[in-house]
Structure 1
Amino acid sequence: MRKLLVIFAALIASFWSLPAAAEVTISFHSFNGSVFFGRYPHAFVILEGTLDGTGEKVSENYGFTAKKVSTAILSGPVEHGIMVEEASYIKKTNRHFSVTLTDEQVAKVRDTMRAWRDAPGKYYDLEKRNCIHFVGAMAEIAGITVDFPQQMLRRPKKWMNYIAAKNPHLGASRIR
């Protein structure tokens, strides 16, 4: 009996000393925006947490955008860039849903971001490759089903609500 108690105590002690589980969460955000107030509607992602394999802390966010906002955006592809948002801006956005990523998925998100950022030429296209398409690529890495209805390509919040409804396992509520 005493031996059994010692084994039981050793098991409990081993569980107590385990490090906290590492994980990185990707959150999907939209910004309502306004032509009159200087920021157009926008979609982006935030990665936060700790990589399991290395213990590296992760605190990153990315949004795909045109380098210059002008009427040229309406005519076809323009120069592009990745926008990193400040905390004060993030507070004003809508967080639609979050998903936990594996270390491999985090690496793929980073690789995809760099591929979009470093693509040669004019890569931002309001109809074919905008912030929604970028966030959609990130969502697919996370195992989320996406598509891009034409009537939503300039409406990030509406598109995110649509994607949340398409993926009920996310448990996301519609944002008004």
Structure 2
Amino acid sequence: MIRLFSLIAALLVSGWSLPAAAEVTMSFHSFNGSVLFGRYPHTFVVLKGTMQGSGAAVDENYGFTAKKVSTAILSGPVEHDIMVEDQKYIKKTNRHFSVTLTDAQVERVRATMRAWRDQPGKYYDLDTRNCIHFVGAMAKIAGLKVDYPKKMLRRPKKWLNHIAALNPDLGAKRIR
């Protein structure tokens, strides 16, 4: 027994280590946006890591949006889409906080994304089903407390700061 302990200790001291446990992290991002420069305020999630069961790499991101941005958004539901962001764009956004997901939660996130994406007809509504509601659905899968104050429904950064405050265990700092 002492020899086994000595062997393990020697391997660890020499720099050999056990493989890290697989995990997928979901990060919550906001973009400040500007009507003048063509991108409205937006929120989305980024999933990165490795599935524990299969070892499959995960590098995905999803945001819910109107298929076409026009004044029709102000009048009620419009056609919708799931937006996947380029890495260069993600680097310019605000990362508010991250959570670790189980494989089952990753699959639920994916299924929820597909359900929103595949809804027939006009499913995007600025007041009841926008990017904030979509990201809120993802946060609920991760076990976070979520609500949707009316005054924040068009302010993704402020809303994510609010969600961080509702979930103090995240240890997230307020983004200004």
TM-score higher than 0.5: yes
TM-aligned CA distance change 1:13 to 1:54, over 3 Å: farther
**How many angstroms apart in 2 are the aligned matches of 1:13 and 1:39?**
55
Residue of structure 1 in register with 2:96 after alignment: 96
Alpha-carbon deviations, 1:41-87, whole Å to 9, x = none?
00000000000000000000000000000000000000000000001
Task: Give TM-score, length-normalised by structure 1.
Answer: 0.94
TM-superposed deviation, 1:91? 1.2
Gaps of 5+ in 2: none
Q: Paired residue for 1:7, among 4, 22, 39?
A: 4
**How many angstroms apart in 2 are the aligned matches of 1:152 and 1:13?**
56
Within a 5 Å distance, the mapping from 1:72-83 to structure 2 comes to 72-83=72-83
TM-superposed deviation, 1:19? 2.4
Residue of structure 1 in register with 2:143 after alignment: 143
Alpha-carbon deviations, 1:89-119, whole Å to 9, x = none?
1111000000000000000000000000001
Q: Secondary structure at the match of 2:27?
A: strand
Runs of 4+ that moved beyond 2 A: 9-19
Q: Cα RMSD (Å) of the superposition?
A: 1.5
Same amino acid, percent of matched pairs: 75
**How many angstroms apart in 2 are the aligned matches of 1:147 and 1:94?**
20
Q: Partner amino acid for 2:34?
A: S
Residue of structure 1 in register with 2:110 after alignment: 110
**How many angstroms apart in 2 are the aligned matches of 1:118 and 1:75?**
22
- Residue 68 (structure 2) pairs with residue 71 (structure 1): no
Q: Partner amino acid for 2:128?
A: K
